[in-house]
Structure 1
Amino acid sequence: MAGYLVRRLLNYIVLLFVATFLTYLLASLTFDPLANLLGRNPPPSAGVLAAKREALHLDDNPVLRYFQWLRDVLTGDFGQTIAAGSVNDELWRRILVSLRLVVLGTVLGAVIGTLVGAYGAVRQYKIFDHIATVVTFVLLSIPVLVLAPVLKYLAVRVNQSTGSTFFEYTGETSTTLSPGLWNEIIDRAQHLVLPTLVLLLFTLGSYSRYMRSSMLDELNSDYIRTARGKGLTRGRAIFKHGFRTALIPMATLFAFGMGAVITGATFTERVFGWYGMGDWLIYGITSQDVNITMAVSLFTALSVLISGMLTDILTAALDPRIRV
């Protein structure tokens, strides 16, 4: 199993290199980082522009610039922004902001969606299955850019009708907060509810439908009937054999769905005023800042790489054949 995981890790590292190289090349060829400086009033002098161009190595070959960027990243330096600030100063804070959203929303959505899909397959064409099908199709048909404002509007209405501020829908924390650790924990949890719920619902729909389909395939398999014939109860045969086998393709979905979740988090952060990696990506693209865009792209690629490794470990645990 160790050899299998090492080979998978090497594959992911190669894919990470290719993804960052292509992103850097595309950004270098299409971005004009000095465009924002030219739009200022008064515009900077020719000497300032020349110094900025030299500092950002804009006249160097894009391929050579990529390897210079890669060398610096491996030493922990993600470069300078166009505004002459350090990317490192913002990077780690924004990563923590995004991880709070993405990890919690993704894990809860994947777990709940998987359980709903599995139970819907077991109760095929029963009332639970019909309700789950309608709800998940509705969730799948609503993009995050619509779902987030709708939940925000509902939260405002609930707060107004109850005369409370239970749902906090702007920012990571309140600007006016009573001192004390417990007050801060409660406040941050209130701000976390709505954006986490958006990502949870965004994830739940797809996982539920895939798991239902996978589970139905296993329920009709010969080995389930064989297990029943050997004396296992229906519930034990389904849980011990069918459910475990149906989880294998779900593990793959988790790895390749991570990119979509991070994309969904981009819109969620903008709607709820969370200044994480998604919000930073939009800023980096609109300001045509290569280093900011690459920092976010690297974070996204690493997230997919890590989720892929977790998927490989989970798949090996579920399917003994992979261990050999």
Structure 2
Amino acid sequence: MFPYLMRRLANYAILLVIATVLAYFLAATQLNPLGLYDLSNTKLNWDGIYATLTSYNINPNDPVLDRFKIWATGVLTEWDWGKTPKGESVNAIVARRMWVSVRLVFLGSLIGMGVGTALGAWTATKQYSAADRIITVLCLIVFSTPVMVIALFLKLGAIKANAALGGQVFEFVGEGSGFVGRAQHLLLPTISMSLTGIATYSRYQRNLMLDTLGADYVRTARAKGLRKRQAITRHALRTSLIPMGTYFAFALATMFVGASITETVFTWHGMGEYAVTSISTFDINGTVAVVAFSGMMTLIGALLSDVLVAVIDPRVRVS
């Protein structure tokens, strides 16, 4: 398996480099940091502004190829991703926000994947029952409700619950400090992210399970005397998890920068929020760093997908 993973890793690494380089040229040509200033104001020290932007390597008046060479040299030699238009270190911002997103996204994704898969597999075995129909309706309601609306409803519910309980039992602004404080602040955004994941994964898993439950190899296993529960878990469930393994890995990777709405509503300063603010503030280096981070997460997700498929599916040959 190791040589196989190394080949896959090399392919993904090449794609990551290409995506990051393209992102740099796109950001460097389309984002103009001069937009942060009043171009009609003649009283501004434009010479000083240009000199500052040049020192940050984000002056749009400088040739883009020259800027790319300086940026690429800094990344390759010092792992320096540059500065924002305000002079902040992009490395420091990403390092801080990355772990904020890890705490939020990992837990929410894990709960959504685990509960959603189990729920979908269970409802498939209860097809057209009352429980199956009720869960289907609830999932459709979650599908039809924007994430922002779900988050706002949770905040309103927390406010009313705190008023009824006479204390700040539920916290929903910021990240908190200490284990208990962070757990309180993490509860509502985790629920917000988990609900969508549960609804999504349960529908996928239900449909995949329905396809495998009627397969010939499952009926054959039952005909040979295998109990229904064993036939479902050993054959139907394992087979239906093969495409879900790929979906899990890539979904977890993209959620790191896809949780911008949840992070904004609950004031979590993670990578999702930074992906939006870096573009809106003409932050060239920050935008490229977000793309590179997202690409790295996708690379990790792709490798996880390859490993999961190889473990679940014995037909996959890796050598």
Scaled by the length of structure 1, the TM-score of the pair is: 0.91
Show the counterpart of 1:171: 174
Give 1:17 deviation, angstroms.
1.9
Of 212, 222, 230 in structure 2, the residue corresponding to residue 228 of structure 1 is: 222
2:144 alignment counterpart = 141
Which of 282, 289, 308 is the equivalent residue of 2:283? 289
Alignment of 1:188-227 (within 5 A): 188-227=182-221
> Are the counterparts in 2 of residues 101 and 196 from structure 1 also a CA contact under 8 Å?
yes
2:75 matched residue in structure 1: 73
State the secondary structure of the residue aligned to 1:227. helix
Structure-1 separation of matches of 2:251 and 2:15: 16
Show structure 2 runs of 5+ residues with no match.
none
Amino acid at match of 1:73: V
Contact 2:257 2:275 in 1 (8 A): no
Give me the whole-angstrom Cα distance separating, in 2, the residues matched to 1:19 and 1:125: 46
Distance (Å, rounded) in 1 between the aligned partners of 2:8 and 2:271: 27
Match of 1:93 among 93, 96, 111: 96
In the alignment, the residues of structure 2 paired with residue 249 and residue 97 of structure 1 have an alpha-carbon distance, to the nearest angstrom, of 29
**CA deviation string 1:30-84 (max 9, x = no partner):** 1111221347989641221221232225344435544543442343211111111
Match of 2:297 among 283, 303, 315: 303
Q: 2:236 aligns with which of 239, 242, 250?
A: 242
Letter in 2 for 1:243: L
The aligned residue for residue 26 of structure 1 is 26
Alignment-mate amino acid for residue 246 of structure 2: T
Shift of 1:129: 1.1
Is the counterpart of residue 114 in structure 1 residue 117 in structure 2? Answer: yes
- Looking at structure 2, the residues matched to 271 and 39 of structure 1 have their Cα atoms a distance apart, in angstroms, of 33
Look up the SS of the partner of 1:323 in the other structure. Answer: coil
Residues 228, 237 of structure 1: 8 Å contact kept: yes
Provide the rounded CA distance (Å) in 2 between the counterparts of 1:135 and 1:262. Answer: 26
Change (3 A) 1:160 1:109: same
Shift of 1:264: 4.1
Structure 1 window deviating more from structure 2 (221-230 vs 144-153): it is 144-153
Quick one: distance in 2 between partners of 1:159 and 1:130? 34
Q: Over aligned residues, Cα RMSD in angstroms?
A: 2.1
Aligned CA distance change for structure 1 residues 232 and 66 (closer, same or farther; 3 Å)? farther
Residue 144 of structure 1 contacts residue 264 of structure 1 at CA under 8 Å; is this kept in 2? no
Aligned equivalent of 1:177: none
Report the CA distance shift for 1:166/1:33 in structure 2 as closer, same or farther (over 3 A).
same
> Structure 1 residues 205 and 231 mapped into 2: Cα distance closer, same or farther (>3 Å)?
same
* Helix, strand or coil at the partner of 2:231: helix
1:28/1:62 contact within 8 Å kept: yes
Q: Aligned residue for 1:178?
A: none
Bigger mean CA deviation after superposition, 91-100 or 14-23: 14-23
Local SS of the residue matching 2:176: coil
Bigger shift: 127-136 or 97-106?
A: 127-136
Distance 1:201 1:278 in 2: 18
Aligned residues with identical type, % of pairs: 43
Q: 1:116 to 1:292 in 2, by over 3 A?
A: same
**Given the superposition, is the C-alpha separation of residues 78 and 12 from structure 1 closer, same or farther in structure 2, using an over 3 Å criterion?**
same
Of 85-94 and 236-245, more deviation after overlay is shown by 85-94
Determine the C-alpha separation between the residues in 1 that align with 2:43 and 2:88. 19
- The Cα of 1:193 is off from its aligned counterpart by 0.2
> 2:33 and 2:88 mapped to 1: Cα distance?
14
The farther-off stretch of 60-69 and 273-282 is 60-69
Q: Which moved more, 1:159-168 or 1:233-242?
A: 159-168
Secondary structure at the residue paired with 1:171? coil
Query: Residue 274 of structure 1: SS of its match in structure 2?
Result: coil
Q: Is the 8 A contact 1:256 1:304 kept in 2?
A: yes
**Stretch moving more, 52-61 or 139-148:** 52-61
Matched, 1:321 2:315: yes
Tell me, what secondary structure is at the counterpart of 1:165? coil
1:275 to 269, 287, 292: 269
Distance in 1 of aligned mates of 2:145 and 2:155: 15
Matched residue count: 315
